[in-house]
């Protein structure tokens, strides 16, 4: 790993064994992009990669050089007014009304390690030797604007983290209207754009489309990163697949409104920008003040999409997630929501918990409905007072009863919302996002608290600190169940309203930080009506997230497959739920449901007391299997093998770091008859190791003859998975079939 500055050619080269990133100070003083891709040898001069051309109608920077136009030079951080006619990385309004910016190189510094971003989540290092950071200072003295571009390259990962700090030194105030975290010009457009798209109950479906001229983008204007688009995009070569080919990944460590786009000009240059969405955003800077953008993480892979994903998994699991639970296996839980909804009392809950304990489950999570005035979703949010008719001994008494039976205690909260009629609503109407005189828009019968106001965050921290103090809590599920409208703060001035949505997210981060500092042993799981805020920013505070409200095993194949493009398996809340499924009314077997949910933070969301003896035996065996293998399942190297978006089948596997053990999963959605033979090619194994492969049957109990096969044969020839459907002998298994294979090294 190194960051080198070649003084004579004014060239920066960031590189490690896998990736190189090269840019230089141009003759005009701007920063020009030269190369980003697979690692290449360093040398003093890469000027051969600098390209200019003379083109009609171009605005030239120098009067005597008609080839030097910033419209046609690949740049690092483009602005308005210098002849560049593309969408910029930075846009601002100066006190005189000017929107022109011309940033020139002033200097740089290179340091080991990686500094934190105050108030923002970001990747980090534990030792300075893990990364080097380059900071380049740019300035426009006439505008009084400075920009510090930060680049961190990690020693062991083909990943570069970027952000910008925009400062102001002039008179009056600067209005910042657009501040991207990342700007990158690539020399061609021969890519397909991969995005994670969906909606409630079908989050993060994989969509791939060829790049075209103009702008193609994903974004959110919902106040959260959203069910609809994830703050991620990838550019892959058309011949790249899961296992080979070039892929560039771009991921934003942010939980609010975002924009991620690829803008292709008529000369095939592709500009990638990513950051806070400029719509409804403005930030006022006075002299001496600065604004820090969220962090964007770029990943390069020449090993296909799996290679990109595995880099994100490793980096985000170990150097984004933090705290006591970062490296600990997740407890197996049961959540009462789909078992009881709002209709419960303490005896009913303890009965569920007692049954769960018998089956080996470790954690009981009490979901919505435990506080006063909460018999449905129309009341109670904001006051957070325990309903002692349901829980006579309060949270403390209920938690102690769970602990006495050997169960941990988890609790659901939704701290960002308020219902009308609560004391908080009546006493602090100015703490609700809305414009006075205009009727606010409800969502799920609730309204959004103004987290841009520090007093709101302080109040909620004190309230939850008092509520949790003395309660034997092991887990908190933090939910958020509506998008943000009426983004007007009653306590902010006119020139601050454009900052409300970003300050709101900063307030969410601050409350998370306060609570995780105060209760460091609690495992926090983030949630937003399922997966509406499954983003890297949340992982910094909560190492796992509720992946989707859709708990159907078949739908979860697509949801978890897509989520794995960026996020580690350990971060995906995945539960076995009741059937008929409460979202799609589908009936799948307990085995199918467990074999999908096992690849995540595993748990149950159904009334275990209503299972028959055979069902309870299956659950007990599933729990025992996950306990035995959960470090491998949650922290192994994850490989996607077959996409549920391409066929009737899906497959994936996880491999231990030493490649001595693996678990593969093969899923068939609809049964077929008289079809071709089937094989499943595995990945990530040691080709020279002899493995014992054991097919696992119902409830993850060994079923089928084990065989010993070398790793190269398993990866090149594959497992033979043909069954009765490959002929006329119907297997009798019906639809929704799943099989697990335990792969263990023999020698």
Instruction: Give the tokens for residue 353.
Output: 């918990």
Contact 335, 575 (CB under 8 A): yes
Q: Is the pLDDT of residue 705 over 90?
A: no
Return the H-helix or E-strand segment holding 348: helix 346-358
Per-residue confidence band for 63, with pLDDT thresholds at 50, 70 and 90: confident
Catalytic residue among 157, 263, 549, 552: 549
Distance separating alpha carbons of residues 309 and 317, to the nearest angstrom: 12
Convert the pLDDT of each residue in 280-305 to its tens digit. Answer: 999 999 999 999 999 999 999 999 99
Task: Share the mean pLDDT of the chain.
Answer: 96
**Whose CA is closest to 103, among 173, 45, 25, 51?**
25
Q: How big is the CA angle at 138 (ends 134 and 144), to the nearest 5 degrees?
A: 145
| Whole-number pLDDT of residue 702 | 47
Distance separating alpha carbons of residues 731 and 671, to the nearest angstrom: 9
Per-residue confidence band for 700, with pLDDT thresholds at 50, 70 and 90: very low
Longest CA–CA span in the chain (Å) reads 87
Convert the pLDDT of each residue in 149-178 to its tens digit. Answer: 999 999 999 999 999 999 999 999 999 999
Q: Give the rounded percent of residues in the chain with a pLDDT score beyond 70.
A: 98
Convert the pLDDT of each residue in 430-471 to its tens digit. Answer: 999 999 999 999 999 999 999 999 999 999 999 999 999 999
Residue with tokens 């593309």: 86
Q: Is the pLDDT of residue 208 over 50?
A: yes
Answer yes or no: 613 catalytic: no
Instruction: Give the tokens for residue 626.
Output: 């996950």
Contact 691, 744 (CB under 8 A): yes
| Whole-number pLDDT of residue 181 | 98
| Whole-number pLDDT of residue 723 | 87
Q: Is the pLDDT of residue 129 over 90?
A: yes
Distance separating alpha carbons of residues 178 and 312, to the nearest angstrom: 27
Answer yes or no: 479 catalytic: yes
> Pairing relation of β-strands 719-720 and 104-112?
unpaired
Instruction: Give the tokens for residue 255.
Output: 């939980």
Q: Is the pLDDT of residue 701 over 60?
A: no
Q: Is the peptide bond before 132 cis (omega within 30 degrees of 0)?
A: no
3-state helix, strand, coil split of the chain in percent (to 5) is: 20, 35, 45
Contact 640, 652 (CB under 8 A): yes
Instruction: Give the tokens for residue 403.
Output: 């602990």
| Whole-number pLDDT of residue 58 | 85
Per-residue confidence band for 725, with pLDDT thresholds at 50, 70 and 90: confident
Distance separating alpha carbons of residues 44 and 649, to the nearest angstrom: 51
Q: Give the rounded percent of residues in the chain with a pLDDT score beyond 90.
A: 92
Q: How far is CA 399 from CA 405, 570, 650, in A?
A: 10, 26, 40
Catalytic residue among 302, 368, 383, 479: 479
Distance separating alpha carbons of residues 650 and 680, to the nearest angstrom: 10
**Whose CA is closest to 91, among 233, 223, 259, 298?**
259
List, in sequence order, every residue forming a beta bridge with 46; answer none if it has no partner.
none
Distance separating alpha carbons of residues 377 and 380, to the nearest angstrom: 8
| Whole-number pLDDT of residue 741 | 97
Q: Is the pLDDT of residue 733 over 80?
A: no
Residue 47 makes CB contacts below 8 A (sequence gap 6+) with 9, 11, 24
Contact 296, 248 (CB under 8 A): no
C-beta contacts of 13-18 below 8 A and 24+ residues apart: 13/42, 13/46, 14/132, 14/134, 14/151, 14/153, 14/160, 15/39, 15/40, 15/42, 15/153, 16/153, 16/154, 16/155, 16/156, 16/157, 16/158, 18/157, 18/158, 18/300, 18/302
Mean pLDDT of 363-376: 97
Q: How far is CA 54 from CA 48, 50, 63, in A?
A: 17, 14, 13
Mean pLDDT of 471-500: 97
Mean pLDDT of 268-285: 97
Convert the pLDDT of each residue in 316-362 to its tens digit. Answer: 999 999 999 999 999 999 999 999 999 999 999 999 999 999 999 99
Q: Is the pLDDT of residue 363 over 80?
A: yes
> Burial letters for 46-68: b for 16+ Cβ neighbours within 10 Å, e otherwise?
beebbebeeeeebebbeeeeeeb
Residue 712 makes CB contacts below 8 A (sequence gap 6+) with 687, 688
pTM equals 0.97
| Whole-number pLDDT of residue 729 | 63
| Whole-number pLDDT of residue 19 | 98
Instruction: Give the tokens for residue 598.
Output: 């096992």
Mean pLDDT of 626-651: 97
Domains of the chain with bracketed CATH: 2-51+65-319 (2.70.98.60), 333-635 (3.20.20.70), 641-745 (2.60.40.1180)
Q: How big is the CA angle at 313 (ends 311 and 319), to the nearest 5 degrees?
A: 90
Distance separating alpha carbons of residues 545 and 590, to the nearest angstrom: 23
Q: Is the pLDDT of residue 66 over 90?
A: no
Alpha helices in 263-345 (DSSP H): 304-319, 337-340
Distance separating alpha carbons of residues 28 and 8, to the nearest angstrom: 15
Lowest model confidence (mean pLDDT) among 386-390, 638-642, 726-730: 726-730
């Amino acid at each position: 790993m190194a960051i080198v500055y070649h003084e004579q050619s004014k060239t920066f080269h960031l590189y490690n064994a896998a990736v190189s990133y090269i840019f230089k100070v141009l003759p005009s003083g701007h920063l020009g992009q030269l190369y980003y891709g697979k690692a290449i040898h360093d040398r003093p001069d890469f000027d051969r990669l600098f390209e200019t051309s003379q083109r009609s109608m171009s605005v030239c920077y120098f009067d005597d050089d008609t080839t030097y136009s910033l419209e046609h030079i690949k740049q690092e951080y483009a602005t308005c007014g210098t002849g560049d006619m593309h969408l910029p990385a930075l846009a601002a309004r100066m006190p005189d009304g000017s929107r022109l910016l011309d940033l020139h190189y002033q200097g740089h510094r290179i340091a080991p390690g990686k500094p934190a971003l105050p108030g923002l989540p970001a990747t980090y290092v534990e030792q300075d030797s893990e990364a080097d950071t380059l900071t380049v200072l740019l300035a426009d003295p006439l505008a009084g604007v400075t920009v510090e571009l930060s680049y961190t390259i990690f020693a062991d990962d083909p990943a570069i983290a970027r952000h910008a700090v925009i400062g102001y030194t002039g008179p009056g105030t600067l209005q910042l209207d657009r501040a991207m975290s990342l700007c990158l010009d690539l020399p061609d457009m021969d890519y397909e754009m991969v995005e994670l798209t969906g909606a409630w109950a079908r989050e993060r479906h994989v969509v791939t489309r060829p790049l075209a001229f103009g702008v193609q983008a994903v974004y959110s204007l919902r106040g959260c990163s959203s069910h609809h688009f994830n703050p991620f995009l990838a550019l892959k070569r058309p011949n790249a697949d899961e296992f080979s080919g070039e892929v560039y990944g771009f991921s934003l460590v942010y939980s609010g409104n975002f924009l991620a786009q690829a803008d292709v000009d008529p000369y095939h240059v592709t500009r990638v920008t990513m950051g806070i969405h400029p719509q409804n955003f403005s930030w006022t800077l006075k002299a001496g003040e600065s604004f820090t953008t969220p962090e964007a993480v770029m990943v390069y892979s020449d090993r296909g999409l799996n290679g990109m994903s595995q880099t994100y998994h490793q980096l985000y699991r170990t150097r984004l997630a933090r705290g006591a639970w970062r490296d600990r296996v997740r407890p197996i839980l049961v959540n009462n929501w789909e078992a009881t909804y709002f209709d419960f009392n303490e005896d009913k809950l303890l009965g569920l918990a007692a049954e769960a304990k018998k089956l080996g489950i470790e954690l009981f999570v009490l979901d919505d409905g435990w506080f006063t005035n909460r018999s449905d979703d129309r009341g109670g949010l904001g006051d957070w007072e325990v309903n002692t008719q349901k829980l006579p001994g309060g949270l403390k008494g209920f938690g102690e009863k769970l602990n006495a039976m050997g169960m941990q205690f988890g609790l659901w909260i939704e701290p960002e919302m308020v219902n009308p009629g609560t004391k908080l609503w009546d006493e602090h109407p100015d703490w609700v996002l809305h414009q006075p005189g205009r009727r606010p828009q409800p969502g799920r019968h609730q309204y959004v608290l103004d987290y841009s106001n520090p007093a709101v965050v302080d109040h909620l921290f004190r309230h939850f600190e008092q509520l949790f103090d003395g309660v034997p809590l092991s887990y908190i599920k933090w939910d958020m169940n509506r998008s943000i409208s009426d983004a007007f703060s009653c306590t902010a001035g006119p020139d601050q309203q454009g900052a409300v949505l970003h300050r709101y997210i900063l307030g969410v981060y601050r409350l998370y930080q306060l609570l995780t500092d105060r209760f460091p042993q609690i495992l926090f799981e983030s949630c937003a009506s399922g997966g509406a805020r499954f983003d890297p920013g949340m992982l910094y505070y909560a190492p796992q997230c509720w992946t989707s409200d859709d708990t159907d095993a078949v739908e979860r194949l697509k949801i978890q497959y897509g989520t794995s493009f960026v996020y580690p398996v350990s971060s995906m809340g995945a539960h076995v739920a009741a059937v008929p499924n409460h979202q799609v009314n589908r009936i799948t077997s307990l085995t199918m449901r467990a074999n999908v949910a096992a690849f995540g933070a595993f748990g149950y969301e159904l009334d275990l007391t209503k299972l028959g003896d055979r069902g309870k035996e299956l659950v007990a065996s599933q729990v025992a299997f996950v306990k035995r293998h959960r470090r491998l399942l949650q922290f192994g190297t994850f490989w996607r093998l077959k996409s549920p978006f391409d066929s009737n089948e899906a497959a994936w596997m996880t491999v231990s770091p030493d490649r001595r053990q693996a678990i593969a999963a093969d899923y068939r959605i609809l049964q077929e008859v008289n079809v071709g033979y089937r094989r499943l090619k595995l990945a990530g194994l040691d080709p020279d190791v002899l493995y014992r492969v054991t097919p696992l049957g119902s409830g993850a109990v060994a079923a089928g003859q084990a065989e010993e096969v070398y790793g190269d044969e398993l990866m090149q020839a594959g497992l033979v998975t043909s069954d009765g459907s490959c002929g006329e002998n119907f297997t009798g298994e019906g639809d929704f079939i799943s099989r697990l294979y335990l792969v263990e090294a023999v020698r």
